[in-house]
Structure 1
Amino acid sequence: MARPDSRTLEERIKAEALRLGFTSCAITRADAIPEAAERLRAWLAAGCHGEMGWMEDRAEQRGSPAALWPEVQSVIMLGMSYAPRSDPMALADYPSTGRISVYAQGQDYHDVVKRALKALGRWLAEDSGVALKVFVDTAPVMEKPLAAAAGLGWQGKHSNLVSRTEGSWLFLGSIYTTADLIPDPPARDRCGSCDACQRICPTDAFPAPYRLDARRCISYLTIEHKGPIPEELRPGIGNHVYGCDDCLAVCPWNKFAQVARANKAYLPRAELVAPDLADLLALDDAAFRAVFAGSPIKRIGRNRMVRNAAIAAGNSADPALVPALQRLVDDDDAVVAEAARWALERLATQITATGDQTG
């Protein structure tokens, strides 16, 4: 006869979360972030969300768990590490190579995290009979303030979550439940006087510590923004073609993060770690779908990726990329064609300047 489990429900939840691949789990009350709704309203009113209309459309539900699901009593916050195997900043020294954000170099994290969340949810429902809902990223949930309230970490000056054990490399997921669970203590801000994440941003996307203006953020510009990228921001993009890890990568707390080897879903795909800009510039729709199948990158489509690659090529000072750009000046997509023309003009200036210096 099996011995009864003497652990509390909270202890059992955390043990099961770790078994399923999460690296951290903590609990908070559904009403733990009353100030979040007002901060969100102010951020939206300032226009800092740019073209992300979906944030504005469901702002009320996003600002309060109870507005999304009135029955919720507790929120279980889960973290899954995606700590990189190499320095994400290293490719800055190779301007003809595209830089893809670490989180997008493997399998689509939405699928991986949601799979583990659903498994934990099924276990919890069977174990205790409570009602619950699981969310990862795409739902109107303020994961970072909730994670801070639960004690997983704190929101750093780059506005992302920072963990004492995982640094800035955590995927977040949440389970809303009707269970009245004992909450964990909130995390304490440990950024201190450090402002490394503020200083490293190439496009000055932080008007103040803890505040992000998405309209200037490279992640927003290369992923969410659909039209031409403002010309004054293009040089700062460097060779980023999908997202940006700069503010995350310089966080001193990363030294405590262990490389995420346990979860095979985050083994980076070789073709996504350091893609050649020339290969990205040559993509058509079919090739794009083939290369990025199973990746979160597939959501932006071929045109946005080639636009990003063209801007990176314009920043590269590499004359070998001129033929690939010339083939795009009459591209069917007007945004791609404009980016290619801009890149060619910028390359011409860079190559001329280099010749003057060496001649």
Structure 2
Amino acid sequence: MSTTYPIEDSIPLPPEEDAEKPKKKQLTKDEKIEKEKKELLSSVAAADFSSLKPRVAYVLNLYPHTRNSDISLSLKYWEIFQPDLYKDTGILPKNLFKLERLHYIVRARAKIQNEYELFLADSEIKKSRRRNEEKMEGAVIEDAPPRKKVHIFSDETGKTHRYVMVASVWVLTGRAVFTTTKAINDWKAKSLWKNREVHFTKFGKSDYETLKSYLAVILENREYLGFKYIAVERAKTNRPIEETILKLHEHMLIRGAVHEIDNGRIDLPREMEVTVDEEQSLDSFVISDLRDRIGENYTNKFNGKLQLVSLETASSKNSPLIQLSDVIAGAIGRILNHEGERNFKDDMADLVVQMLDLKLDQGNIDGLDSAARFNV
């Protein structure tokens, strides 16, 4: 005899009112502005030029005179980001429709300066901006030079392996940050890697020739690039892994700066901006400590002529230069840490080291309790 069940047992009851999903917290205006400000700084640090605001912020950061004049800002923006349309000799009428609209650039600048309070204009300019535009015609024509900067993009690997290391890409001028990023993005858009991030651990057997083509693009822009790494054997250091990584970053930035200055690749005075992959082991407290230690070292060692003006974390997603530091770290890590049978990954690691001319030197570094392998 079959059993009969009440109809209500077969129909789901509506959820209790108390069981409703918690509502997402609505940000206040100030919280929203602070969130957008942090996102913008992260994009600038990552050299992510995929949208208008980071591009405008990049110009404001590199060319201080553009903070005081929307005309100067727009001209410099077009010169950097749309050189095929903007020429010193003039702009063709048909190209006016293709250039980024001046009022869009001005609106982005106003938001960056007025709401985020970044890259501010001179105090006198802020009081009467429109009237001061007319007074600045000479400065616009003169085209003031950019601030002298070095941008460093760093990544780490090997926390659970024999060697732990930090690798970095040094870009010796602010303008080269964009030209190198653009060169990589232009190549990538036509390559087999069009829809993927570039990470050494993701390389497959069929990626060798694409990697070779990618590295060739890097070499074409090598004039203003430097590649550095520093590694120590974990078992031979007495420090916790987080402190070891902190010391590696510190020595990388100090020894790297000395190397570039001693070899005449950069002169002083100079500003340093450092971007670390946000997926690394350094939390906000360690980042703050590293920022203070490097800043103090630069000030003392170089009599205030070398300054660390920023040390930020950023996602590698839209940053070809953080991804490049990952490729270098991954290749060196493969050579130092892999103990199994040789396969295609070893060939790729050798290709990176060979084409970028990386050395696997070993020596002692003051402040590390283990011999280090380094390339500076």
For normalisation by structure 2, the TM-score amounts to 0.28
Q: When you count helix as a share of all residues, which structure comes out higher?
A: 2
Per the normalisation by structure 1, the TM-score is 0.28
